[in-house]
Amino acid sequence: MVRHKKDNFARGGKKFNNPRPRVPRGDEEEVDGATSSRPPYKAACWDMGHCDPKRCSGKRLMKLGLMRELHIGQRHPGVIVSPNAKRIISPADKDIMEQHGAAVVECSWMRVKEVPWSRIGGKCERLLPYLIAANTVNYGKPWRLNCVEALAACFAICRRLEWAEDLLRHFSYGPSFLEINKELLARYAACETEEDVKRTEEEWLTKIEREYEDSRIDGGDDVWTKGNTNRLPARTSDDEDEESGDEEDDDKDPFAISDDSEDEEQMAEIRRKILNSKSFKNPEEEEKQQPEKISRPEQLYVDSDAESGSGGSEDEAFDNIINATTVTDRTGIKAIQQRKAIETLSGSFSRAEISAPKKA
């Protein structure tokens, strides 16, 4: 016999037992109590993995050993609570449930279309009637039950209320679910066939609708139907003035019919004054004042001789002759003459050849 070094046959060798599965705190006592005695019911589910493991009621039931998991493609012979079913559950399904148990689909209500319904289910698929959820995710919503609530409702309708109580005692909202739907579950359990359950559901919905309409009619002044009264808008003085004005108008003639001619004359006078007031007149363009035109003063030429005091008839005659003669520009004439003189200047050049002296 050949011994391997990993075998624990050596003297003093350590022997290791199988590790104990880890259980969340607070669930150890429940797991020990659940595994010590087998539950009287059979529960199963198809887990789609949509939900949060910390909030998933189906995963918690499987940890407690109260429900087993089914694989995709595996059929179940018992009662299957499914939103894809065509018939409603009734006490007539009690025998099948007691023999084969019940199964649910663990999925999110927002992702129901992703479930492969053709690969799961069975022959006895059933719908749940009107019930109100009490779980922390869909509290107060009708038909929005989670796994444990659906199984408990299935057991209670099939007249196994003790099974429902045993399932729900592991959840904080379990007693609330039974308390909210106590009367309705009792009515469903008192039925015999599927038609009776449908009729009971319709009667209950009609009752709820009627109570709602009555509360709207009779509870108009009920303080509980007005919401938070601390957040109502504050009343202003303008609103009070309008209300007082409305009361005064109500005391008067509602149709404003009066035969008094004095009132008509007063109204005509008031209308005339209003129309003649400044705000109703057509605006007239004010004439802008045009600036005055000031004529340019004429310059008077002062005679220098008159200022000097010199005068005489002969001098005045001579001055008149001088003033009448044409004034020539001597400076311009000289410039032209100089330019012409420059242009007429000419130069002459001479050439002489001188031979160099020869050497002796």
pLDDT at 186: 94
Per DSSP, the three-state class of 7 is: coil
- Could you read off the pLDDT of 344-358 as tens digits, one per residue? 656 667 777 777 777
Query: CA-CA distance, 85 to 93, in Å (whole number)?
Result: 14
105 annotated to a ligand binding site: yes
Query: CA-CA distance, 115 to 107, in Å (whole number)?
Result: 8
pTM: 0.53
CA 197 to chain centre: 42
pLDDT at 251: 54
Helix axis angle, 147-157 relative to 182-189, nearest 10°?
50
223 annotated to a ligand binding site: no
Query: CA-CA distance, 68 to 58, in Å (whole number)?
Result: 9
Q: Is the pLDDT of residue 154 over 70?
A: yes
Please state whether 272 falls in left (phi above 0), alpha (psi between -120 and 50) or beta.
alpha
115 annotated to a ligand binding site: no
What are φ and ψ of residue 304, in 5° steps?
-65, -35
Q: Is the pLDDT of residue 187 over 50?
A: yes
pLDDT at 222: 60
* Averaged pLDDT score across all residues of the chain: 75
350 annotated to a ligand binding site: no
